[in-house]
Copies of this chain bind each other. A is one copy, B any other.
Amino acid sequence: MKRQGSQTVMFSQPVGILATASVVGKKEGEGPIGKMFDMVETDPFFGTKSWEKAESKFATTAVDICAKKSCMPMDSFDYIIAGDLLNQSTGSIYGLRNTNRPYLGIFGACSAMGEGMSIASMLIDGGFANNIIVAASSHFCSAEKQFRFPLEFGSQRTPTSSWTVTGAAAVALTTSQSDVVITAATTGKMVDMQIKDANNMGAAMAPAAADTIVAHLKDTNRSPKYYDAIITGDLGYIGSQLLLQTTAKMGYDISAIHKDCGIEIFDKNTQNTYAGGSGCACSGVTFSAYFYEQLRIGKLSKILFVPTGALMSPTSIQQGESIPSIAHAVAIERCAA
């Protein structure tokens, strides 16, 4: 039986990561890990006529680069699994409609990369696929327009607000041998602690992240020390503090090894991103460019990657609803040489 505990599956054959790809916007390219991305596109329209079309082009480009870095033609991929934040997932759908591959659309808000890597790993380990590309995208301008205010309005941002990352990430998974492998996946439950402030998504998502991380540690009977790093998606500064407090109360001190992609991707002092980065691309590109590389070169050997998602819509917020959240954890390890 591959299932372990209530939410975790362990893979009998670790699922290999064949390649990752990251394509980002100008601001992300100027950040602390800016030099590590595969491509920085400085035009927010990416040569198209709208931010939505630009987001789609980020997704197209990331998937194309990922296939190239995998040294495989697109038709070697048995599935593409992708998601984003736009209404009816138009970022992924219009970006990937010409791939001509069996397509599974997902929605987990900014947890998309975690959900996609989990499903892909199960499909590969279950014998249903040899190779799968997982992709996730977001765009600051399309997200502001859809979730907040028109950019032209120049609204003042709250200190708890985060900055949606512009870009897309793609990760190619495989049955073949690989330096870096996925060994387990813990699928999150929705957690709703009645946070209603859509400008404080870190606070809404922290309890979901804590719930999934603790479930993973309990299911696998591991201490946090098993991992070199536990890396959340886009909790940012405020959500990360809440996460550490919450996990500590639940009996797990992860403070020494916790990292957050929303904190890593921007410079707090010079980039005015307040609570940090967010968006489906935030965890996607930070993992693809930075943490995957650290695993590949041996600076990290075991990580728990935990993309986080705030599952509200503008309509649900306008109707007075709170923000259900979710986090999906994927254990990723470097194979001993």
| Residue positions of A touching B, CB distance < 8 A | 1-3, 6-7, 9, 49-50, 52-53, 78-79, 83, 85-90, 93-94, 96-109, 115, 118-119, 122-123, 125-130, 187-190, 192, 311-316, 319, 321, 324, 326
Instruction: Write the chain B residue with the least CB distance to A123.
Output: B122
Picked from B106, B189, B321, the residue with its CB within 8 Å of the CB of A106 is: B106
Are B97 and A324 in touch, CB under 8 angstroms? yes
Chain B residues within 8 Å of A105, by CB: 106-108, 115, 311, 326
Instruction: Write the chain B residue with the least CB distance to A116.
Output: B104
Are A101 and B2 in touch, CB under 8 angstroms? no
**Contacts A93-B324, A107-B89, A107-B107: A102 and B50 contacting too (C-beta < 8 A)?**
no
Complex-state Cα separation, A96 to B102, whole angstroms = 27
Chain B residues within 8 Å of A312, by CB: 88, 90
Are B53 and A319 in touch, CB under 8 angstroms? yes
Q: A49-B319, A104-B187 are in contact. List 4 more A-B contacts (CB 8 A).
A: A2-B126, A87-B313, A87-B315, A94-B316
Chain B residues within 8 Å of A90, by CB: 312-313, 315-316
Residue of A99, A107, A123 with highest tally of chain B CB at under 10 A: A107
Are A7 and B187 in touch, CB under 8 angstroms? no
Chain B residues within 8 Å of A1, by CB: 127
Chain B residues within 8 Å of A52, by CB: 315-316, 319
**Contacts A187-B79, A187-B103, A316-B52: A311 and B88 contacting too (C-beta < 8 A)?**
yes
Picked from B97, B127, B128, the residue with its CB within 8 Å of the CB of A190 is: B97
Chain B residues within 8 Å of A101, by CB: 189
Closest 7 CB pairs between A and B? A126-B126, A102-B187, A88-B313, A105-B107, A97-B324, A87-B87, A97-B190
